[in-house]
Structure 1
Amino acid sequence: MLKGIPPIISPDLIKILMEMGHGDEIVLADCNFPAASHTSRVVRCDGHGLPDLLKAVLSLMPLDTYTDSPIALMSVVPGDLAETTIWHKYRCIIDQETTSPIDYLERYAFYERAKKAYAIVATGERALYANIILKKGIFV
């Protein structure tokens, strides 16, 4: 264990966060996201929920301030009645770190952007539409 590193951050995940550069993106994915078919760099965080992981990642990784929206969520498919209460939890966590707006991407646009991400973190999060993309900024 290291001081100051949240215990939810695995050695593999800390390595990925350290390797990422300015403008690289990471996807924090729910348990339904097709992570393995979208990238070769998958970090497993099974058994963990996304709000706790998001809070831990944001405590370590600065967000990109040179873009309009360094945060993106998968928007709800029209006609789907899925609950998105997890988004409120995300906003509360994000507001502690930044005032960045959140972008909402159509499902397949989200998938295409995820394919270009530096890595995808596959979690045990069961909430629907819980996937989130974060764009890394610079440490000042």
Structure 2
Amino acid sequence: MLKNIPPLLGPDLLGILRAMGHGDEIAIVDANYPADAAGPALVRLDGISATDILEAVLTLMPLDDFVDEAAIVMQVVGDASARPPVVDEFDAIVKKHEPKMGVTSLERFAFYDRVKAGYAIVQSGERRLYGNILLKKGIIRPQ
């Protein structure tokens, strides 16, 4: 056992988070997302919400503050300006850990393409639609 590491972050996901470099991207996706066919390394956390996973990941991983879009969600099909409640929760979690940041969005198929080019995917048990977020890893600055 280790202290201060959220217990839902098992060894596979911890290894991925450690191995990722600055600018690499990891997606946390909902239960409906076609993650197995997407390509990058896949970690399954069935039964755990995407928001709980995001909270745990951001306790360890900094977001990239060199870019305008370090936390990206999928737009609602047919209404790019719609904001499902799960996205509001994602935004609040991002702002809790990175106060100067918030979420931006991408069209559905552009989001799929971006995830396919990413480092890894975490498939959650999230059943709320549009419970998908892509994160770009940042750096830890010297003190």
Query: Given the two structures, how large is their TM-score scaled by the length of structure 2?
Result: 0.92
Q: How far does the alpha carbon of each residue in 1:110-138 deviate from its partner, in whole angstroms, 9 at most, with x for none?
A: 00000011000011000100100000001
**Where does structure 1 differ by over 2 angstroms across 4 or more consecutive aligned residues?**
none
Range 91-100 or range 62-71, more displaced: 91-100
CA contact (8 A) 1:68 1:101 kept: no
Q: Residue 62 of structure 1 aligns with which residue?
A: 62
Range 84-93 or range 126-135, more displaced: 84-93
Q: Does 1:17 align with 2:17?
A: yes
Structure 1 unmatched runs, 5+ = none
Change over 3 Å in CA distance of 1:24–1:40 after alignment to 2: closer
Number of residue pairs matched by the alignment: 139
TM-superposed deviation, 1:79: 5.8
Q: Does 1:105 align with 2:106?
A: yes
What SS does the aligned partner of 1:60 have? coil
TM-superposed deviation, 1:101: 3.3
Q: Distance in 1 between matches of 2:68 and 2:55?
A: 21
Q: Does 1:27 align with 2:27?
A: yes
Q: Distance in 1 between matches of 2:83 and 2:68?
A: 26
Q: Residue 5 of structure 1 aligns with which residue?
A: 5
Q: Distance in 2 between matches of 1:120 and 1:88?
A: 21
Structure 2 unmatched runs, 5+ = none
What SS does the aligned partner of 1:68 have? coil
Counterpart residue type for residue 135 of structure 1: K
Map 1:34-53 to 2 at 5 A: 34-53=34-53
Q: Distance in 2 between matches of 1:95 and 1:25?
A: 18
Q: Residue 126 of structure 1 aligns with which residue?
A: 127
Query: Given the two structures, how large is their TM-score scaled by the length of structure 1?
Result: 0.94
Q: Distance in 1 between matches of 2:139 and 2:57?
A: 14
Q: Percent identity?
A: 47
TM-superposed deviation, 1:95: 1.2
